[in-house]
Amino acid sequence: MKILFLCTGNSARSQMAEGWARYLKGNTVEPYSAGIEAHGVNPYAIAVMKEVGVDISGRRSKLVAEVTDIEFDYVVTLCSHADENCPLFPGKVKVVHVGFGDPARATGSEGEVMATFRRVRDEIRVFVESLPNSLEV
């Protein structure tokens, strides 16, 4: 099953979702990630994923246009901006929206920002653990 995780900048949420899917569901899911824009992989996302043994440091931020030729089974939009601007994909792809807060907008001390990234990381993990059943809506 091919799944695209789509968010605005492909910098945090979609990168973490792809990382979790590769780590937890690599035998049943072929995950991809992309963004409506490409902002580069957020260093906080890399750091909080590393804390749990998932290395996303070698990933790069991709535009959705780079993956539109892939026949996905599902496109999971992770923010309202991506949901509202999701392009059409070929084939019988099903688009599912599962929104998460944007950790890249976190403010405060380094510890507070890291706490926000950890919270979103853990929320995304719970969702990914439920795959593919949670997509059969």
**Residue 137: its pLDDT value, please?**
55
> In 3D, which of 137, 131, 125 has the Cα closest to residue 3?
131
* Whether 7 is catalytic: yes
Domains annotated on the chain, with CATH: 2-135 (3.40.50.2300)
* Whether 86 is catalytic: yes
> In 3D, which of 98, 86, 112 has the Cα closest to residue 21?
98
pTM of the model: 0.93
* Whether 9 is catalytic: no
**Residue 69: its pLDDT value, please?**
87
- Which residue numbers in the chain have pLDDT < 50? none
Question: Which among 7, 36, 48, 76 is annotated as catalytic?
Answer: 7
CB-CB contact of 33 with 14 (8 Å) = yes
Question: Which among 3, 21, 64, 79 is annotated as catalytic?
Answer: 79
Instruction: Extract the runs of DSSP E, i.e. beta strands, from 14-127.
Output: 30-35, 74-77, 94-97
